[in-house]
Amino acid sequence: MVMALQWYPGHMNKAKNQVQDRLKLVDIVLEIVDARLPFSSRNPVLEQIIDQKKHIIILNKSDLADPKVTADWKVNFQQEGTNSIEVDAKHDKGLNKIKSMIRTELAEKIARYENNGVQNYRIKAMCIGIPNVGKSTILNRLVGKNVAITGNKPGVTKNQNWLKTNIGIDLLDTPGILWPKIDDPKVGMKLALSGAIKDKIYAPDDVAIYALNFLEAHYMDQLQKGYGLTNADIFNHTTPELLMDLTKKFGYREDYDRASRRIIDDVRKLKLGRLTFDVPGEFYEE
Ligand code: G4P
């Protein structure tokens, strides 16, 4: 049975308060999400708070996500009033557009400063994201060799981790760890499948069966090609039977856990192509 992951309200409240406190120090929030999970890798509790600020969604790991669905998500976010940008921090793609998007978002404020004689205003941005979305990779890329951690210096409040970039933006990293909020077991499955939460939390066969079901519904071609399956292989079997058949096909006898781990690994390593696990609209129908 698929269980909802336990979630600690105390931890979340602490993170929420820390984000809330620091919001007044910044001009804009950069919310980093996994492009394969633009819904499930967001934290709804934080969304409510950051709504008070200018805000950009960074869809990272876009190299792993289905480009058509990424485009749909960008439209979806735009319709909700938030601009988003796709990047691939691992291969340093798209990050140069972050600066121009931030400047567009803050155009009024920057113009106001310039009209008052303040040139080269250094924008202050806070980065938030649940673990494993690639926040450190993005911060390292943006900061580059010019890293200057200004926290714990005179005049800078203790425990604030400010990073200086050479693109006119100072970045405030969020303190602590912002765990995802997993009320919906499907969200837990998707986070497990992407590798965002530890593999030991869910049984591999639960995650693999979830993956096979999802692939049957959304990426049938990729599933068939990836594993050399025919229509009959899929339509004449339930998903657990399909997992059993694949286990045999892989030569793993009855080691369903091994086959499950392989399927999860194949999904993560693009053996079944670029996949996005969250579909815009899907979450609003239920
Ligand atoms: P975090 O601070 O948000 O927790 O994430 P972090 O930057 O540590 O990145 C988590 C993993 O995601 C790392 O992989 C990192 O290389 C990978 N990653 C970050 N951005 C991208 C991206 O745009 N595309 C892809 N494909 N991967 C990305 P790892 O397995 O921990 O390390 P490694 O495989 O890089 O050695």
Going by C-beta distance under 8 Å and a sequence separation of 6 or more, which residues neighbour residue 175? 15, 18, 22, 159, 160, 161
- Residue 172 pairs in a beta bridge with 126, 162
Predicted local confidence at residue 157, as pLDDT: 46
Q: Who lines ligand 1 at CB under 6 A?
A: 60-61, 63-64, 88-90, 129, 131-137
Q: State which ligand 1 atom lies nearest to the alpha carbon of 129.
A: 3
CB-based contact 168:122 (threshold 8 Å)? yes
Predicted local confidence at residue 145, as pLDDT: 57
Q: Give the number of other Cβ atoms within 10 Å of residue 105's Cβ.
A: 19
- 214 burial (CB, 10 Å; 0-12 / 13-18 / 19+) is buried
List, by residue range, all CATH 3.40.50.300 domains of the chain. 5-173
CB-based contact 247:256 (threshold 8 Å)? yes
The candidate with the shortest Cα–Cα distance to 57, out of 86, 15, 16, 79, is 86
Q: State which ligand 1 atom lies nearest to the alpha carbon of 64.
A: 26
Q: How far apart are CA 149 and CA 244, in angstroms?
A: 52
Q: How far apart are CA 275 and CA 222, in angstroms?
A: 9
Predicted local confidence at residue 219, as pLDDT: 97
Start-to-end CA distance of the chain, whole Å, equals 20
pLDDT tens string 123-171? 999 999 888 999 989 998 998 854 544 444 444 444 567 888 888 999 9
Q: How far apart are CA 129 and CA 38, in angstroms?
A: 11
Predicted local confidence at residue 155, as pLDDT: 44
Cα(245) to centroid of ligand 1, in Å?
A: 33
In the CATH scheme, what architecture does the domain 5-173 have? Answer: 3-Layer(aba) Sandwich (3.40)
Q: State which ligand 1 atom lies nearest to the alpha carbon of 137.
A: 7
Q: Which residues of the chain have pLDDT under 50?
A: 1-4, 146, 148-158, 284-286
Q: How far apart are CA 100 and CA 56, in angstroms?
A: 12
Structure tokens at 158: 């203790």
pTM attached to this predicted model: 0.91
Radius of gyration for the chain, computed over Cα atoms and rounded to the nearest angstrom: 21
Token look-up 């994201």 returns 129
Task: For residue 141, give Cα distances in angstroms to 84, 217, 276.
Answer: 18, 36, 24
Token look-up 């086959």 returns 259
Predicted local confidence at residue 7, as pLDDT: 52
Predicted local confidence at residue 50, as pLDDT: 87
Q: How far apart are CA 140 and CA 136, in angstroms?
A: 6
Q: How far apart are CA 286 and CA 275, in angstroms?
A: 22
